[in-house]
Structure 1
Amino acid sequence: MALIPKNPDFKHTIVNHLQRQEFMKAIGCTLTVIEPGYVEAEISLERMHQQQIGLVHGGVIATIADIAAGFAGFTLVAHNEHTVTAEIKISYFRKGLGTKLRCIGKVLKAGKSFHFCEAHVYCTDHDGIEQLIAHATTTMAIIQPTL
């Protein structure tokens, strides 16, 4: 079943929201694909993304998963609604070591109050080979406008 955005101008709305996403800017995270219920995010890895032994910090991996899943859910809400993470569960499969993180966020089930999403995080190694390193499931709460 196709996911139908409540906001037909969702891409423009997301682009406007990205201008105020200072944390995403600080970590170098960009959205590269935005479709109904589907978002791809990328981070070009630098030293600041590493923990003490040179691997990508688990928090960076969880962050890109949260961003991709969150914006995937956001593509489906009305123009005056927002999404926030109510729950996230992440499983790490491999170490993150390389040049880039890419994350695919998808809505699994869209609801009235919550969207249930998932994210697959891939790391491109120094030889250009991309491998799945983590999977997250999220519950995104839909925030209604306040009067």
Structure 2
Amino acid sequence: MADDGTPGGFAGRLGATVEDAGDGAATLAFEVRDEHLNPAGTLHGGVVATLVDTVMGQAVRSTTGDGEVPATSQLTVTYLRPGRPGPLEVRGRVRTRGEHLTICEADVEQEGRALAHAVATFALLER
């Protein structure tokens, strides 16, 4: 994570900011702009997938030591309704932490309504 609250990498380039991360949970803020929309005029599913992957990665990182690096090994996103331009809240949390694998969940909301739910498995790699 960068010092300015951006998660770095692709999600940071999209404009996501880390609002909170610690104790196996994380929250991202994101402003949906025109460049994030698909041809139908709704939030592109790839942006949603990036946001949930990033927030869950941040949640896992809040539980790891210096020598461990989480890597996504499985990601399932269920899209519940289309997103529109405006602010999003993305929350992730660690559900189960094993020795080598960690299971997480994430939710995306806009104006208090669920847009997507995701589940992921992260492998814990050694640096």
Normalised TM-score (structure 2): 0.91
Q: Which amino acid in the other structure matches residue 71 of structure 1?
A: Q
Shift of 1:15: 4.7
1:138 aligns with 2:108: no
Structure 2 counterpart of 1:78: 65
Distance 1:20-1:50 versus aligned 2 partners, 3 A rule: closer
Deviation at 1:57, TM superposition (A): 0.3
Q: Distance in 2 between matches of 1:88 and 1:105?
A: 13
RMSD between aligned alpha carbons? 1.7
CA distance in 1 between counterparts of 2:123 and 2:8 reads 19
Runs of 4+ in structure 1 displaced over 3 angstroms? Answer: none
Q: Residue 7 of structure 1 aligns with which residue?
A: none
Q: 1:19 to 1:102 in 2, by over 3 A?
A: closer
**Which residue is 1:10 aligned to?**
none
Aligned residues: 126
Structure-1 residue corresponding to 2:80 = 93
Provide the rounded CA distance (Å) in 2 between the counterparts of 1:132 and 1:89.
16
Quote the offset at 1:61 in angstroms: 0.8
Alpha-carbon shift at residue 20 of structure 1 (Å): 7.8
State yes or no: 1:46 paired with 2:28: no
Residues 106 and 117, structure 2, Cα contact 8 Å, conserved in 1? yes
Higher strand share: 2
Q: Report what 1:23 is aligned to.
A: 10
1:62 aligns with 2:49: yes
Please give the alpha-carbon distance, in whole angstroms, between the structure 2 residues aligned to 1:102 and 1:20.
15
Give the greater-gyration-radius structure (CA).
Answer: 1
TM-score (norm 1): 0.80
Structure 1: runs of 5 or more not aligned = 1-13, 124-128
Identity value in percent: 26
